[in-house]
Amino acid sequence: MPQGRVKIRVERAARIFLRAGVVAFENLTLDLYDDEIACLVGPSGCGKTTLLRCIDGLLPLSDGQILLEGRPVRRPPEKMAVVFQHFGLFPWGSVYANAAYGLKLSGAPRDRIDARVSAVLKLVGLDGFTQHYPYQLSGGMQQRVGLARALATDPDVLLMDEPFAALDAQTREILQEEMLRILEQTRKTIVFVTHSIDEALLLGDRVIVLTARPARVKRIIPVPFPRPRNLAAIRADPGFGGLRARVWDLLREELRGQEREDANG
C-alpha cells in the first residue's frame, strides 16, 4: 500500500533507560513513507511514546539510528510536529497564540502568520474562538488547538501520540472523523499511536503492531479500505471484522507475554 518514498527510516534502534533499568525498544527497524498514515499499536508501556520522542529528536537513541530523508535526526526537525496526548497547550496563550506558536518561532512575517493561523483554525472548526484561553475550552476543542498548532507550520511529518485518549467516547468519534477529513486532504507522513484498533483501522494505511517491551515490529497489516473513508462505511465493510480480529489476536499474544513477564519480574 505505501506508494511513496521512504521518509523516515528507523534502523536497529534501541533506547535504554539506564537508571530505571528499562529497555524501551531494541533492534527496532521500521520504514515510514511519504504520504501515509501509519498507526502504531502495542501493549501499554511497550515503548511507543519513547519511540515517537526519539523520532522527533527529543530523546537520543542508545543504539542504531533514525534517518529523516536519509539524514540522522539529532534535534527536533522543523519538518516535524507533534500532537500530544495531554494537548500540551500553553495556558497563558489564547487559542490564536497557541496555534501561532510554531510559526512565530520560525520568524514568519506577521501577515503570513495571521493568514495561516486563521486558515488552520477554520480547518479544525475553531474560527470564532481565537481569543479564548485553553481553560475556557472543552477537551475536544483543546485538542483541536493542538492539531491546529501542529498543522500551522505545514510539517512533512506529523507525530501523534494517542491524541484522543483523554477524550470521552463521543468527542473522540467526532474528532476521528474530522481528523480523517483533514488528514486526507494533506500529503504527509503521519505516525499515529493509538490503543484503539478501530481507530487504527479507520485512519491508517498500515497498522504496525509492536511486541511487548522491548518493542519491536511484530507484524505490519495493510489496511485496504479506499479513501475517502468514513467511520460508518468502514464498520459496515465486510473486511473490517476480519482485520480487527487479526490485530486483536496479535496484540493478545503480546499482552499475555507481558503479563507473564510482569508476574516474574
Partner 1 sequence: MADLALPFTRREAIQAAADHLKRRQRRHDLAVRFTAAAVILALWEIGGRQISPFLFAPPSAIVVAAGQVIGSGELWKYLQVSLRVFLIGTTLGTFVGILAGIAMARVRLLDLSLEPLVIALYSTPMVALIPLLVLWLGFGDSAKVAVIFLFTLFPVLLNTYQGVKSVDPKLLEVARSYRSGVRLAIGRGLVGMVVADLYTAVSGVGYLIVRYAQNLQIDRLFVPVVVLALMGVTLVQGLRWLEARVAPWQHVRDD
Sheet with 63-68, edge to edge strand ranges: 22-33, 6-17, 63-68, 71-72
Are residues 216 and 42 in contact, defined by beta-carbon separation less than 8 angstroms? no
Q: Give the nearest distance from C-beta 72 to ligand ATP in angstroms.
A: 21
Does position 166 bind partner 1 by CB under 8 A? no
Are residues 62 and 14 in contact, defined by beta-carbon separation less than 8 angstroms? yes
Of 9, 31, 49, 230, the one binding Mg ion by CB under 5 A: 49
Does position 196 bind Mg ion by CB under 5 A? no
Q: What is the DSSP string of 92-158?
A: TS-HHHHHHHHHHHTT--HHHHHHHHHHHHHHTT-TT-TT--GGGS-HHHHHHHHHHHHHHT--SEE
CB atoms within 10 A of CB 69: 15
Does position 125 bind partner 1 by CB under 8 A? yes
Q: Give the nearest distance from C-beta 216 to partner 1 in angstroms.
A: 25
Residues between 213 and 252 with contacts to partner 1, criterion CB under 8 A = none
Q: Give the nearest distance from C-beta 49 to ligand ATP in angstroms.
A: 3
Does position 2 bind partner 1 by CB under 8 A? no
Does position 90 bind partner 1 by CB under 8 A? yes
Does position 47 bind partner 1 by CB under 8 A? no
Are residues 36 and 184 in contact, defined by beta-carbon separation less than 8 angstroms? no
**Is 23 in a helix, a strand, or coil?**
strand
Alpha carbon of residue 32 to chain centroid: 12
Stretch that binds ligand ATP, among 42-50, 166-174, 184-192, 217-225 (CB under 6 A): 42-50
Using CB under 6 A, count the residues that bind ligand ATP. 12
C-alpha 63/C-alpha 66 separation (Å) is: 10
Does position 118 bind Mg ion by CB under 5 A? no
Residues that bind partner 1 (CB under 8 A): 53, 56, 58, 75-76, 78, 80-82, 84, 86, 88, 90-92, 101-102, 105, 125, 128, 133-135, 138-141, 170-171, 174, 178
